[in-house]
Amino acid sequence: MSRRYLIAGNWKMNGSLPANAELLGELALQQERYPGIDMLVCPPSVYLESAGRQLGGNMQLGAQNLSDQTKAGAFTGEVLGAMLAELGCRYVIVGHSERRALYGEDDATVARKFAAAQAAGLVPILCVGETLDEREGGGAETVLARQLGAVLGACGIGAFARAVVAYEPVWAIGTGRTATPEQAQAAHAFLRGQLAAQDAKIGDSTRLLYGGSVKADNASSLLSCGDVDGGLIGGASLKAAEFLAICASAQALSTN
Ligand code: 13P
């Protein structure tokens, strides 16, 4: 089947009201040039409402994190999935390696967040990926299987009909060191195989994004891989020209 490319910008903890307005203004002006792809921006949560008002027709809004709780209550500092949905979010990133490494999110927490996202009607973008040590020790696939398996075990394969998976090798995030197209394709094929082993149709239809130092000049070779259905872009999503060039690469490869 042909999966529609999703080009997602993870702004991480960056932005300001004026900078966001400038960036989103440029994206909104250009988005009509990429009708065959889905464009997504994931600003910090405090900017979601204002960003939502500045989107062009082809652009969607996503959050970077959510609470693992499914009901409002006494959880100081947390943001409920339903609140994100109320602001117009369609997607939410869960299990980003920065949250796993810096904020202690383990596989069980990530699985609860994945379920909480879906309970609120949001599409989780589940991030998985190995560290350099794990790759060099030959354990990359074991890590991917464990991270994906934790969510599969908790939520079931059916949940992946409404989810996106992002392969983000930790050693490629923010380092300028991108996975080669061969490395990305191999990891994506492995992840798709894990899903397909449980449900061939869901394995075939689930979008798998690559993330880790994607830039305008390497996007096309990564997006050309058969099992790469888009990108989760960090640094390059903060520059309109870079992000749009990545969107243009996806559009050029798109069959839509
Ligand atoms: P960079 O594109 O800055 O490497 O970040 C990737 C990432 O972590 C996206 O979620």
pLDDT per residue rounded down to tens, the chain (256 residues): 689 999 999 999 999 999 999 999 999 999 999 999 999 999 999 999 999 999 988 899 999 999 999 999 999 999 999 999 999 999 999 999 999 999 999 999 999 999 999 999 999 999 999 999 999 999 999 999 999 999 999 999 999 999 999 999 999 999 989 999 999 999 999 999 999 999 999 999 999 999 999 999 999 999 999 999 999 999 999 999 999 999 999 999 998 7
Domain assignments of the chain as residue spans, ordered by start:
6-254
Q: Does domain 6-254 have CATH number 3.20.20.70?
A: yes
235 close to ligand 1 (CB < 6 Angstrom):
yes
Q: Contact at 8 Å (CB) between 52 and 91?
A: no
pTM tops 0.85, yes or no: yes
CA of 63 to the centre of ligand 1 (A): 15
Place of tokens 């889905």: 38
Bridge partners (DSSP) listed for residue 128: 167
Dist. CA 32–CA 53, nearest whole Å: 17
Among the listed residues 98, 130, 134, 168, the single catalytic one is 168
What residues have CB less than 8 Å from 192, skipping those under 6 apart? 203, 204, 206, 208, 227
